[in-house]
Amino acid sequence: MDGAYDDRDGKIWMDGELLDWRDAKVHVLTHGLHYASSVFEGERCYDGKIFKGHEHSLRLIESGRLLDMPVPYSAEELDAAKAALLKANDLSNAYIRALAWRGSGPDMGVSARRNPISVAIAAWEWGSYYGDAKWQGAKLDISSWKRPDPDTIPAAAKAAGLYMICTMSKHAAEAKGCSDALFYDWEGYVAEATGANIFFVKDGEIHTPLADRFLDGITRQTVIAMLKDSGRVVHERRIRPEELAEFSECWLTGTAAEITPVGQIGEHHFQVGQITRDVSDAYEALVRS
């Protein structure tokens, strides 16, 4: 599917209806546009089946709760809407974006309790998020921004406003010829990329930042379970930047990123090694099982 995202053929599910793609619109005074009162999910459908679709529906609802923005649909209703959307668009392999936001209403200040909450779901064909880096190893910049203290933001929510520094950091990284950027947290520990969690290998064991101060991705949780089931040792812990030189392999995980090997972070280089390839192959088999 080519062209601008507001000018395409197909259907979008919006507040209980399947609308023509170009008719799925909101007013300029939508609260979510002004105050980032919105949450979203990214999901992938493989061979007609959404991978962990119900978990994504539950997380959308939980993200809304964390923003004091109750999503007006159950997880089961969201699941049904996604299935209807895929059927309407004749898609069996697709990326799915579900979004809930505070719409236009009688309030147009910071407080907007009287404004309705809307939900929309779109789906389209989308290949590798990182392009050729999916196979060759992504090159990451180190962001000048830090992931903030969870006492200042709802870090467990997949909320639109939390991605502002992600967009800025990715733009800066791309200007340097990189695919993405690595964040440190506010205390200086390794955190995550702009839209993916990160894993490292040292002496055959896996190390990944403890996800208590940024989003604990569904793909991250899946990969940790896979690794443990295969007998691999996984350490979820604080990782210091100076440790980057000690790791031999590195990869990113996320619904869009899937399993993407990392070849370089700043001055540090990694091999696309056997463990990374094994994890990628196992994940590919799992999502299509």
For residue 22, what is the DSSP state?
A: G
CA atoms of 209 and 131, how far apart (whole Å)? 25
87, amino acid identity? K
Query: In the beta sheet, which residues pair with residue 47?
Result: none
Q: Catalytic residue at 170?
A: no
Which of the following is catalytic: 158, 176, 202, 228?
Answer: 158
Q: What are φ and ψ of residue 101, in 5° steps? A: -155, 155
Q: Give one word for 204, left, alpha or beta, with left for phi > 0 and alpha for psi -120 to 50.
A: left
Instruction: In whole angstroms, give the CA distance from residue 24 to residue 30.
Output: 14
Largest CA distance in the chain: 59
The residue type of 69 is: M
Give the per-residue SS3 of 89-107: HCCCCEEEEEEEEECCCCC
Catalytic residue ranges: 158
